[in-house]
Structure 1
Amino acid sequence: MKHLLLLSVVSIFSSCSSSLRYYTKDIHDDGRWTDSELKKIQFYLSDDIVLWRDINRGETEIINGKIRLVEGRNVEEVTIRKGTPGIFRFSPQKNHFAVSFDEKDDSRFLVFAPSREVDGRFVLLAKNWDKSYGKVTYGDKLFTTSNKSAFVFLMADIDKIQKTVVTSSIPRGRKVE
């Protein structure tokens, strides 16, 4: 009886476990989803993204972030954790996704696109990357992020978004009359 109960609990948890996979250009192209369909897909981050920016004197608005004193400067920092759910907002250009992770402000989004260097996975885009940092727009402000963020990928529950419909028939053949 103990084994049956344990087996039941394990099967319940395994059936509820998510099957997050990298969202890739191949998956996207195979799906041929419209923007309204993409809005129904729950996206996630493969890793943390940390954004920061210097706050000018007199500027005190902090939303979805925190202020800390760094070497005598005021810095606004936004951390979007691994596994944070996000939603597709719009496509600024072909195969580019504006994805929002902020539950209160639709203008706070990051842009992802497929990269050939990592098998077509959707990666974080920046206005520019140098050896150590990238510059990204988040809301109406320009933030800096570590170059590690260039390898943060969009993920999705692939089992839920890949549906194959097979229509089959078996002809009986034809006979000569």
Structure 2
Amino acid sequence: MINSKFSALALGSALIMLTFSCSPRLTPLSGEMIKENGWSSEDLKHVQFYLANDLILSRRLSTGESTISNGKIRIRDGQKIEQIIIKSGTPGTLLFMPKEDRMAISFDDSSNAKYLIFGASPKMRSRFVLFGKEWDAHSGKITYNGQIYDTSSESAFNALLVDLKRASKIIHETEVAQGRKIVN
């Protein structure tokens, strides 16, 4: 009886340890991390990114405009409001880098136009956070899918996360060509 309780306890402990050892270690991506690891834009296209916090984008639809993709349309005070919700932990991939310290990350595989720009912020210890066209005390303007959306000012601190275990497994192989001469 004691032996079976001990076996069950040992098995439970082993399962808990295995679960935590295999779970991703999500860490905010920073410019220093990229430099320390020597990651190129091509390397970063093989890294899985995650959104740190929920992000809600919304915009008023003009009269006669009622396209619905994967967003929700809400009617508020007689106005049509389109909302795009990207949940915390949603995986994303790098599409391109418009500048060395900026990344276009897509969290939606239905269109390459559905991306957000993140950039290394000196105010946030060079962490990659959501970039917007403009920010004020209450909200910001974000471009997504070719449209301008509003989001809360807290979204300015929404960071990109990476699984450090997987990201550090990128192996760099460099080969230098020695040249080739004509043989007479």
For the pair 1:57 / 2:46, whether they are aligned, the reply is no
For the pair 1:156 / 2:162, whether they are aligned, the reply is yes
Q: Distance in 1 between matches of 2:164 and 2:73?
A: 37
For the pair 1:29 / 2:35, whether they are aligned, the reply is yes
Amino acid corresponding to residue 148 of structure 2 in structure 1 = L
Q: Distance in 1 between matches of 2:170 and 2:50?
A: 23
SS of residue matched to 1:27: helix
SS of residue matched to 1:13: helix
Q: Evaluate the alpha carbon distance shift between residue 103 and residue 146 of structure 1 in structure 2; reply closer, same or farther with a 3 A threshold.
A: same
Amino acid corresponding to residue 8 of structure 2 in structure 1 = K
Amino acid corresponding to residue 148 of structure 1 in structure 2 = E
Structure 1 residue runs of 5 or longer lacking an equivalent are: 166-177
For the pair 1:138 / 2:148, whether they are aligned, the reply is no
Structure 2 residue runs of 5 or longer lacking an equivalent are: 1-6, 172-184
Amino acid corresponding to residue 108 of structure 2 in structure 1 = D
Normalising by structure 1, we get a TM-score of: 0.88
- Equivalent pairs: percent with the same residue? 35
Deviation for aligned residue 1:136: 1.0
Amino acid corresponding to residue 68 of structure 2 in structure 1 = I
For the pair 1:112 / 2:114, whether they are aligned, the reply is no
SS of residue matched to 1:102: coil
For the pair 1:15 / 2:21, whether they are aligned, the reply is yes
Amino acid corresponding to residue 41 of structure 1 in structure 2 = V
Normalising by structure 2, we get a TM-score of: 0.85
Amino acid corresponding to residue 138 of structure 2 in structure 1 = S
Deviation for aligned residue 1:56: 0.8
SS of residue matched to 1:145: strand
Deviation for aligned residue 1:164: 9.6
Aligned pair count? 165
Q: Distance in 1 between matches of 2:105 and 2:31?
A: 16
Deviation for aligned residue 1:33: 1.7
Deviation for aligned residue 1:29: 1.2
**Deviation by residue 1:152-174 (Cα, 9 ceiling, x = unmatched):** 00000012222599xxxxxxxxx
**Deviation by residue 1:14-61 (Cα, 9 ceiling, x = unmatched):** 222110011111101112222221111000011011100010111111
Question: 81, 88, 96: which one pairs with 1:82?
Answer: 88
**Deviation by residue 1:87-139 (Cα, 9 ceiling, x = unmatched):** 00000111100000012111100000111111111110001111111111101
Q: Evaluate the alpha carbon distance shift between residue 76 and residue 150 of structure 1 in structure 2; reply closer, same or farther with a 3 A threshold.
A: same
Contact 2:104 2:115 in 1 (8 A): yes
Which residue in the other structure is 1:168 paired with?
A: none
Amino acid corresponding to residue 66 of structure 2 in structure 1 = T
Q: Distance in 2 between matches of 1:98 and 1:12?
A: 34
For the pair 1:45 / 2:51, whether they are aligned, the reply is yes
